Amino acid sequence: MKIYRYPYDQYDRWWWNITYKTWIDDYTNSTVGSSDPEFDPPAVIIQTAALTTSTKDPLNIYWTSNSPSTKFYVVLHIVEIQDILSTDLREFDISCNQRTLFSSINPGVSQIKGLTKDWLSFTATGDTYYLMSLQATARSTLPPLLNSFELYQIPSANGVPTDSGDDYAWTGLNCTLYSNVPRITHLNLSSSGLTGAIISSFGNLTALISLDLSGNDLSGSLAFLDQLVALTYLIGDLTQKSNKKKTPVVLIAVIGVVVLLLLAAAIILVLCLRKRPGTFFILSVFPS
């Protein structure tokens, strides 16, 4: 079994194939586009798909958990890779443990209800056995299709150190509740050995008040700083300018921090799941 990770995947997610007797594997050599290329699976992954043999057969995937309190985060990548006739329709519902999550999904139609940026996501908890099912609708002439999916175990917050004023306190990161939603307000990444290009999505941290990026070796555009409307304190060696202020060429996208935290949890998960039959981490379907 071949595992695809970095350099195929810039975030070093681990991908490997699974298949079932009721599945048909398909592959295209054509470039498969996406409206959200930043987090796409590698091309070799998204160019593959699993289908069932008929519209009557659901595409089922299952996993298990040792505890019903375990919470999972699931991401489904759904992109049409076949040439569909104008008289045909691929449409299906997605459920988990007989609970309908998404209805009338059509991967050949962009911006349909429930399908965001060619992927869908949901959380699952409360059971020790999970059965995710893609079932063709009554009017569909084609079976359901799935390119790949990601499965993460969400770590419990129990035992995470906090302080008196922050229920989401990690070293160098503090959050504040706004309308009961935790927002990152203070971020200290000083002397963290960070290198590489600046990522513009750092500007999504619009609640950020203080930012310390000193002692690193980062580069790139500083235009993202114009989006940080709440930013009051900025520490770093100033070498470039944005439209509004003189600022340092030092940046690490918080999305990178989140990805690292998620990958850390995922690595722990995959080490555990390797010992358990019938469970898996980040998976993609390949032709046999």
Sheet containing 119-124: which strands, arranged edge to edge?
Answer: 16-17, 283-284, 148-154, 71-77, 119-124
The full set of domains in the chain, from first to last, is 16-154+265-284 (2.60.120), 173-251 (3.80.10.10)
Average pLDDT over the chain, rounded to an integer: 75
Ramachandran quadrant class, 232 (left: phi over 0; alpha: psi -120 to 50; beta: rest): alpha
pTM to 2 decimals? 0.58
Exposed e or buried b per residue across 225-251, where buried means at least 16 C-beta atoms within 10 angstroms of its C-beta = bebbeebeebebeeebebeeeebbbbb
Model confidence band, residue 247 (pLDDT cutoffs 50, 70, 90): very low
pLDDT in tens, 124-156: 999 999 999 999 999 999 999 999 999 999 877
Is pLDDT above 90 for 56? yes
pLDDT in tens, 60-86: 999 999 999 999 999 998 888 888 888
pLDDT, average across residues 187-209: 83
Query: C-alpha distances in angstroms, 129 versus 13, 28, 68?
Result: 24, 33, 9
* Amino acid of residue 83: D
What one-character-per-residue DSSP string does 135-203 give?
EE-TT-SB--EE-EEEEEEEPP-TT---BTTBTT-BTTEEEEEETTEEEEEEEE-TTS--EEE--GGGG
Query: C-alpha distances in angstroms, 8 versus 40, 42, 48, 169?
Result: 11, 6, 15, 33
